[in-house]
A and B are shown apart, each in its own frame.
Chain A
Amino acid sequence: MKKFEKLTSRIVPLPIENIDTDQIIPARFLKATTREGFGDNLFRDWRYDSDGQPKADFVMNNPNYSGKMLVAGKNFGCGSSREHAAWAIQDYGFDVVISSFFADIFKGNALNNGVLPITVSDSFLEKIFDVVFADPNTNLTVDLEAQTVTINATGDSFEFEINPYKKSCLINGYDDIDYILSHKVDIEKFEQTRHFSYYQ
């Protein structure tokens, strides 16, 4: 996993609530057996019409907006557990997703793929949308070490929470398997203590 430290970038605003993983990556694109290439179909049915033509009114087709951060409405990533949603977001080129609320599984999947989900307050989210709609060139700075996200134009800053273990994983580029495997002896010991085996 690549290391995450600090990022300053313009943003793509998507002020829609309850964006589910079927919107992020529709099921019909889940047939791939590798992790690559999902970015092309990120938000497929919002981005393209049924003839495959880009829909002009969708933000990702608007040349005024771009960047490595996606900012979305409350309850982002609800629905299916498909990690393909996190892969699509990463593959498209987003390193950060900001919302005022994330669905659990999506949040975990994002972190496991080096995409940082940042939960901000409703009012801070509003502020980001206000600023970016006033000026699409606005940018944010995310400092993972300090756990802050700052709207550079206004100086407004929000201190976000992140599990300390997950933070160190992102900063160091480790993943969970490396960590758990370092406790293999504990796992084997644990298996010995099971009183009865009702495994099939």
Chain B
Amino acid sequence: MGKTLVEKIWDAHVVKRQEGFPDILYIDTHLIHEVTSPQAFDGLRKRGIPVFRPNQTVATADHNVPTLNQHLPIQEELSRYQVDMLTKNCKEFGIELYGLGHPYQGIVHVIGPELGITQPGKTMVCGDSHTSTHGAFGAIAFGIGTSQVEQVFATQCLLQQKPKTMKIEVNGELAKGVGAKDIVLYIISKTTAAGGTGYFVEFAGSAIRSLSMEGRMTVCNMSIEMGARGGLIAPDQTTFDYVHGREFAPKGEEWDKALAYWQTLYSDEDAQFDAVLKFDAADIQPMITYGTNPGMGIGISEAIPATVDQPESERPSYKKALDYMGFRDNETLLGHPVDYVFIGSCTNSRIEDLRAVASFVQGKKKAEHVEVWIVPGSKQVEAQAKEEGIDKIFEEAGFMLREPGCSACLGMNEDKIPAGKYCVSTSNRNFEGRQGPNARTMLASPLTAAAAAVSGKIVDVRELLAEYDVV
């Protein structure tokens, strides 16, 4: 019987398989950042051991950094301490750091791909759940906790149970104004936020194939939001073209060897998945979330499902979520006023996202009462945006282009949405308080977010696209 893509990559990385024990899985690349690493470094010190393979770990500072005036010392004391600690630890243990001020600095899941560190067939981990992003290249990539960060430091391996596999196919053509973010929000709205738990998900089908690498990263990024361990997409010409020529991509003969191997990375025809789901791209509208987990999403023209239509045991949580958001049963969100728009995070802060937003807002202005933050995913994205003049378009529109970091995705730095305010956000989580205590988050695509910014309310971006005939 054939193998799934996950099985192929997994089996190629098993150092030891022993009955009754999880596999010892070899990790090719380890990414770290300031928040989930200090306790792991401390652990090494306590054990008196070094990092086993320091050149297979790359570090950046992203979660906690300010997104204004990055050239100045960090104001907030605890954040500064955490970032300084990362610098000190990387130095002590011999790890490459792209810290603040470095031209490669940025959100860990944005810089891996853009530097060519992320490659098909690899196993990659990071102390951050959205490590699943890297699966877009046909890699096994997943988030780990700090104890596991310490494991990888100490051994370049992890103890892991082989996961179950799920295939999600999306076939057909996407409508204009509907993109990768809408696909994944749609899928999660169908599977619920726990529907993928225990699985590694392979995304397939013609609608997935037609996505750019950026779009594929958006989809895999949010696979964790359906509870999955990770998501991945078999590499193809789109993947190889993206990786080719990047800083840390294989070169010359190494490239040929790597490419020959990468071309074997797909699920065999007769491979068995533990679960298969199929969706039709034509059913997908621009999506928006109305609740406090990413599974609570609807098509932009749809009404919020009624509490009585939820399974009985879930009604109290459901009602609590609607109360938190200030929404009612059967309400539609079209026309609902918006206070903030956040375009950023490892889900949607790549150059393609910024380009899409820029081409939409060109010549328009933000609604007066709306505050708009654009936070590029990395220094390289920021530089590219400036080179293409995108920064000017944002400036004219009244959008604020900030410096790279996780920013209002998790509100760890000062970029917080005030209590009770509505924010249309291109990030990946709408949990209570995620963007700041009592902030109300509505997740959507960059285009829908941009449309909200110029309209000052929730609108169907498809109608604006028809009106202005852009994109």
A residues apposed to B, CB below 8 Å: 15-18, 20, 22-23, 26-28, 30-35, 45, 50, 73-75, 78-84, 86, 101, 103-105, 108-109, 112-113, 122, 163-165, 175-177, 179-181, 183-184, 186-187, 190-191, 195-200
Contact = CB atoms under 8 A, between A and B. Distances in A.
A177 B150 contact: yes
A112 to B, nearest CB: 4
Interface of B: 15-16, 20-22, 24, 26, 28-29, 35-36, 38-39, 42-43, 47, 52, 55-56, 58, 63-64, 78-79, 81-82, 85, 116-117, 119, 122, 127-129, 143-148, 150-151, 154-159, 161, 193-194, 197-198, 227, 229, 248, 250, 254, 257-258, 261, 293, 313-314, 316-317, 320, 410-412, 419, 429, 431-434, 437
Given A75-B193, A112-B148, A187-B156, A105 B29 contact: no
Given A18-B293, A83-B36, A199-B55, A105 B15 contact: no
Given A20-B293, A183-B15, A200-B248, A108 B39 contact: no
Given A18-B194, A187-B155, A28 B147 contact: no
Looking at B47, B116, B412, B431, the one whose CB has the most chain A CB atoms below 10 A away is B431
Contacts of A105: 129, 143-145
Nearest to B199: A104
A196 B194 contact: no
A130 to B, nearest CB: 13
Contacts of A16: 316-317, 320
> Interface majority SS on A: helix, strand, loop or mixed?
loop
Closest 5 CB pairs of A and B: A83-B145, A33-B38, A31-B78, A109-B145, A112-B147
B254 A196 contact: yes
Contact of A45 (B39, B81, B159, B432): B432
Contacts of A108: 144-145, 148
B36 A82 contact: yes
Given A79-B431, A105-B129, 8 more contacts: A18-B193, A31-B78, A50-B437, A83-B145, A104-B197, A108-B148, A180-B154, A190-B15
